[in-house]
Structure 1
Amino acid sequence: MAVYDLYRKNEEALFLEKVRELLWSLPPPYGEKRTGRPLYNPRGMAMIALLKMKLKMDYRSLESRLRARRDLLKIMGLDEAPSKSTIHLSLKKEDA
């Protein structure tokens, strides 16, 4: 397999590994709340936001991609893929 083909296959994982190095060196984009259901990792959700922008995907497609690619969730520090609604709300929170 050519080097280019290997890169294309692992492009998302390589991108997220670089983003992880950067985001984990910074404070979380928003704080944890004290009541209600526990939040997804704020840094992991920021990584999802960046991945969404890079891939130019809608929320539903991104949710499906994350459910199919458990390796990406592991890189982001998430145990499970958030729903499309959770991704949307997280992006709104990061804009505020």
Structure 2
Amino acid sequence: YARGSDPKAVAHFYGMASAFTMVDALRRAGKNPTRQGLIRAATNLNETDNPFLLPGIVLKTTPTYRFPITQAQLYRYRGGRWTAFGGLVAARG
């Protein structure tokens, strides 16, 4: 809990999204997680339900592909605020 902090600061969302993924990996590692089990879980993620990511963005890893997020949403700054435009785009080829 960070009393007095800005709840809209992007670092809070990043931290919560990362924590959600870490808990997910720990759960997938089993009842008595080991280093090897955690690595296996972290390299086989397919999160479609992370509430701290934008709708439609999937966090996915494989043993050979470790860039978990490959989608992005473009935003435009107008009238003093950021607004999304267009749909999700592939952030990597």
TM-score range, shorter-chain basis? 0.3 to 0.5
Question: Which structure has the bigger radius of gyration?
Answer: 2
Q: Which has the higher strand share?
A: 2
Q: Which has the higher helix share?
A: 1
- Calculate the TM-score normalised by the size of structure 2: 0.34
- Calculate the TM-score normalised by the size of structure 1: 0.33
More relative contact order in 1 or in 2 (CA 8 Å, sep 6+)?
1
